[in-house]
Structure 1
C-alpha cells in the first residue's frame, strides 16, 4: 500500500456524525476513519481497486484492532488504482493508532510479516 491519505466521503456530513479529532468521526459510540491508497502488485497486491488484496489489509486489521466498515464501491471506477476503505472500532485509540499509517508505505515482506515504513 502506498500513497495512503485521508478520504472524506459525503456520508460524514450526515446528522449525528461528529468529527472528534482530525479525520476521526463518531456515530453512536462507533469511531471511524477513511483512507485512500494504492495497491502495489510488485508486493503481491492486486492491481485494480475493485479487488483489494487480503494482505496487508488483514494484517493491518489485526495490528490495530479495527475492522472494515465500508468499501465505497460506488467511488471506484473501472480500472482505478485508488482504493477507499472506512475502518471502525468502538475504541478511539485503535483508530488513532491506525491513522499513523497515513503517508507511509505498508506491505508484507517475503516472509509475510507486516512492514510499515
Structure 2
C-alpha cells in the first residue's frame, strides 16, 4: 500500500456523527476513520481497487485491532487504482494508532511480515 491519505466521505456530515480527533469520528460509541490508498502489484497486491488484496490489509487489521466497517464501492471506478476503506473499533486509541500509517509505505516482506516505513 502506498499513497495512504485521509478520505472524508459525505456520510461523516450526518446527524450524530462527531469528529473527536483529527480524522477520527464517533457514532454511538463506535470510532472510525477512512483512508485512501493504492495497492502495489509489485508487492503481490492486486492491480485494481475493486479487488483489495488480503495482505497487507489483514495484517493491518490484526496489528491495530480494527476492522473494515465500510468499503466505498460506489467511489471505485472501473480500472481505478485508488481504494477507499473505513476502519472501525470500539477503542479510539486503536483508530489513532492506525492513522499512524498515513503517508507511510505498508507491505508484507518476503517472509510475510508486515512492514511500515
Q: Give TM-score, length-normalised by structure 1.
A: 1.00
Q: CA deviation at 1:33?
A: 0.1
Equivalence for 1:29: 29
Structure 2: runs of 5+ lacking an equivalent: none
Per the alignment, in what secondary structure is the counterpart of residue 69 of structure 2? strand
Equivalence for 2:94: 94
Per the alignment, in what secondary structure is the counterpart of residue 87 of structure 2? strand
The yes-or-no answer on 1:16 pairing with 2:16 is yes
In 1: Cα distance, 2:90 partner to 2:62 partner = 15
Structure 1: runs of 5+ lacking an equivalent: none
In 2: Cα distance, 1:47 partner to 1:13 partner = 31
**Number of paired residues?**
117
Q: Aligned Cα RMSD in Å?
A: 0.2
